Amino acid sequence: MMDYKFYSTDQIGHPFNYNILSGILPQSRVLEDVKDAYDYEGAIIVIDSNIHKTILPTEIFNFRKENSKQTRLLVDYAYETGLPEEMYDRKIKEIVSRGIDIKDVLFVFNRSAFANWMEKHINNIMFIDLFAVSAAVRHAIGKMPVSEVLVKDRPRKINLLVGKIDKPSRSLVLQSFYTSNLKDSTTFSVLGMPNGDANFSTEFLQFLKDNQGPLDGALTFQQGDGVSSQGWSDNTSIYDNSSVSVICETHETNDSLFITEKTYRPILNRHPFVARASFPLLTYLRAIGFKTFNTLIDESYESSEISSNQTDRLVSAAGELLEQTQTQADQVQAIVDHNYETLIKFAQSELSLLNQRIFDLLK
């Protein structure tokens, strides 16, 4: 097989984003200069990360075809979850209308995106857990150090980094911790304010204003709906200085299993955690080889619908786990060490699958 490189422009003019496919690839293989894309004698794989519209350098495809240079297309939607079949069909029609043969196209979806209709397109589709790979890649290239502080040596604190709080479940979690006896043992960090504040006290809203983050130094950027963050930090202070992480995953609905950096950051930092997700996150993690803390605490909160009762049970579980980090530190350490090693192996496996499909695309 001839040598190959990728051509991508989705990092130009923006802070580098590890949460898209071009961010996890070896950067020595990624071309950004359009002249290089025309001139490169090996194979070129063009990356299109615009699933809702098609912005393709058709001139590059045509030029390279006229000069018998191998060119392929990789459509990246691994950073999101779910796609209706009609949107996939429309994307295919747009690609084909540009003169690109469908056999030269590979769609990369997040593992959460699988739907039955995809089976008939499986030759053009693959799945990857992008955020697991992103965590491992950032760690491997030295962009994200990992906490080396042992469980037994960490302060008796909970970290509650929830990002944007314009989602009902996150506001509920924050309020439950704020009103609990764990308030003074919890480090709060939020972005923005809730949508509508009729159900919240003036004191609580002021507390949120006083605890704007991100405390971990993660890069933030402005979006149409307010300040957001990529979720990756270049330091370990929040994990060095707390014993338990509270994960508030991204999606509010239970129609998909979408795991992001919110879950993988604590795992990579060997940090015990409880999780608020709209799907059975803990069950899934155990199914793919990770361990949760069900031998030490009651994790039945996961089976409850989003409600104040569920978040109260989440707070209770966080308190239990905090105690276990003091009284059963060795057991907790064994679990977090196992999870770190499992994440690295899982990410390596995902990258191997991606590499194999790329090699197949170039045959």
DSSP line for 293-353: STTTS--GGGGSPSSHHHHHHHHHHHHHHHHHHHHSHHHHHHHHHHHHHHHHHHHHHHHHH
Sorted by sequence, the CB contacts under 8 Å of residue 63 that are 6+ apart come out as 38
DSSP string, 290-304: ---STTTS--GGGGS
Percent of the chain with pLDDT over 90: 64
Is the confidence at residue 231, as pLDDT, over 80?
Answer: no
Helix (H/G/I), strand (E/B), else coil: 153: helix
Which pLDDT tens digit goes with each residue over 94-105? 999 999 999 999
Which DSSP symbol is given to 181? T
In the predicted model, what is the mean pLDDT of the chain? 89
Question: And the tokens for 100?
Answer: 């690109």
Q: How many CA atoms lie within 13 A of 304 on its CB side?
A: 16
**What is the DSSP annotation of 123-146?**
GGEEEE-HHHHHHHHHHHTTSS--
Structure tokens at 304: 């409850």
Structure tokens at 147: 């906490």
What is the Cα–Cα distance from 18 to 219, expressed in whole angstroms?
A: 12
Other CB atoms within 10 A of residue 287 CB: 9
Residue 223: enclosing H or E segment and its boundaries? strand 220-223
On the question of pLDDT at 59 being above 80, the answer is yes
pLDDT exceeds 60 at position 316? yes
**11-20, 79-88, 232-241, 328-337 — which is least confidently predicted?**
11-20
Per-residue buried b or exposed e for 225-252, using 16+ beta carbons within 10 Å of the residue's own CB: eeebbbbbbeebebbeebbbbbbbbbbe
Whole-model pTM?
Answer: 0.91
* pLDDT at site 168: 80
pLDDT number for residue 142: 77
Summarised one tens digit per residue, pLDDT across range 322-355 is 999 999 999 999 999 999 999 999 999 999 999 9
Bridge-partner residues for 75, per DSSP? 48, 107
Averaged over 238-265, what is the pLDDT?
86
Q: Please report which confidence band the pLDDT of residue 222 belongs to, taking 50, 70 and 90 as the band edges.
A: low
The strand pairing partners of 45, in sequence order, are 6, 72
> Which of 149, 188, 145 is closest to 170 using CA atoms?
188
Mean pLDDT value of segment 283-292: 95
What secondary structure letter does DSSP report for 212?
A: B
- Report d(CA 202, CA 181) in Å as an integer: 20
How many angstroms separate the CA atoms of 96 and 47, rounded? 16
Q: Read off the pLDDT of residues 77-132 as tens digits, 9 standing for 90 and up.
A: 999 887 899 999 999 999 999 999 999 999 999 998 889 999 999 999 999 999 99
Neighbouring C-beta atoms of residue 63, cutoff 10 Å: 15
pLDDT digits (tens, 9 = 90+) for 169-193: 888 899 999 999 999 999 999 988 8
Per-residue model confidence as pLDDT tens digits over 122-160: 999 999 999 999 999 989 887 788 999 999 999 999 999
Q: Which residue has the higher pLDDT, 17 or 293?
A: 293
Q: CA-to-CA distance for 118 and 124, rounded, in angstroms?
A: 9
pLDDT of residue 35 exceeding 60: yes
C-alpha span between 200 and 294 (Å, rounded): 33
Grade residue 306 by pLDDT with cuts at 50, 70 and 90: low
72: DSSP letter: E
